[in-house]
Amino acid sequence: MANPVIDHYAALLDGDTAQPEWLSRQRRQALSRVQTDGLPTRRQPAWHYSPVDQWLAQAQQRHGAGLTAADPGDRPHHPPLDGTVFHFSHGWLQSSGELPEGVGWQALSALDPTADAELIDWLTQRRDDSLAALADALAPDARVLSIHSAAMVERPLVLHHRATQAGVHAGRLVLHVAAGAHATVVEYFEGADDCDYTALARTVIRVDRDARLTYVRVNGDGDLGRHLGMLEVDQQQGSEVRLQALAASGHQVRNGININLLGEDARFQSGGVLAGSHQQHIDYHLSVNHLSDRGVSDTRFQGLAGDEATGIVNGRLYIGHDTHANDAQLSTHNLLLSSQAEINAKPELEIHADELSCGHGATVGQLDAEQLHYLRSRGIARDEAIDLLTSGFLRNGLLELGEPLQPWLESQITRARQRLDSQRIDV
């Protein structure tokens, strides 16, 4: 399919000869999928609100050829979160803390085709959307983070991504949590507020039998930043994943999250917070796919839009053919603070089995004038009363994660509330 954006990036890939043969072949296969399928467009329902083909074309016109390299002058900034921190600049690993016992870290290109054949084969079989395939093809410094079998990693592993220069960059992370391992991983995306960038941020996670993973993904992008996030999680038998998503900054953010419960008795729980202000566009598309028996999933999102912001929460539950005793729940509650703000909430069910428990729901409303009046009558100023109501509403989208994650996530909600123009809040 002829497309100047795809042709441009294909030329970049043609000039990359530093990869091993198996990875070069894999990247070219991914690019071939993009060339065959084309980039997502507004004609596709899942991409109706976020025309990434147009966004990428505009970015190419503004920034010209090439992907943004690591910024050698950018000193590592530590997010206020205690853990083992890995610093990334425009998708490139810049520095890392000392690895805890049971944790491995290497370039994707360093995988051994013989010793790591199973992992390589699993990566080759990825069949996600064409935007994810583009990120797979382009990311110049793809990395593999491995949690070894039965490892108990107590401190969070914090992957701190920063953008400080204008342009387009692509990052790719592979996270492998081996059988019986327990770990917490945080991906935090940050950008300079005066930096016009477009980030392709691709994360693929494999959670093996009886492993436990807490994964947190936070968008702290700059005011001019565009973030195209792609998260894919495969869960094996008896595994458990807790996902916390939060987006409160960035000019245009689109996060696609795809969860596959492949093994029996897999469990998935997620909390999500979307808080838009000014003219932000924040789009979450999440699909939870029950593909085996006795899977349990519970997904809840809290969305808020003020000023002239647009928020999208699209949650889909899929129950596969000939599966049994799955329990899948999804809810999204959303709050509009301005007549010029917009929230689009769309829960979906696709069920191909009879023996199951499944439910979904969505609400969109405004601040409760009676609750606000009650607080004002107790001597609480209007702005403080609104802050109490909106902060409490958003905190319902947080999982109970304990120290040090809980206070850090709550601080992100406080920052989101401070971005709102209180004079434009309608009650």
User: What residue spans define the domains of the chain?
Assistant: 4-424
- Mean pLDDT of the 291-319 span: 96
- Mean pLDDT of the 161-165 span: 95
Q: Please name the residues in contact with 347: beta carbons below 8 A apart, sequence gap of 6 or more.
A: 314, 315, 316, 317, 330, 331, 332, 360, 361, 362
- As a whole number of Å, the end-to-end CA separation of the chain is 50
Cα separations (Å) of 244 from 74, 160, 400, 419?
28, 16, 10, 21
Number of C-alpha atoms within 13 angstroms, CB side, residue 211? 28
Per the listing, tokens 């890939």 go with 13
Residue-wise pLDDT for 92-147, tens only, equals 999 887 899 999 999 999 999 999 999 999 998 877 799 999 999 999 899 999 99
Residue-wise pLDDT for 391-422, tens only, equals 999 999 999 999 999 999 999 999 888 888 76
Q: What pTM does this model have?
A: 0.95
Cα angle at 302 between 299 and 391, to 5 degrees?
135
Residue 389: is its pLDDT beyond 50? yes
CB atoms within 10 A of CB 187: 23
Residue 59: is its pLDDT beyond 50? yes
Q: Are 394 and 245 in contact (CB under 8 A)?
A: no
- Mean pLDDT of the 41-63 span: 92
Residue-wise pLDDT for 348-378, tens only, equals 999 999 889 999 999 999 988 889 889 999 9
Q: In what order do the strands lie in the sheet with 143-147?
A: 103-107, 143-147, 167-177, 197-207, 226-235, 252-261, 281-290, 310-319, 342-351
Cα separations (Å) of 88 from 126, 161, 211?
24, 5, 26
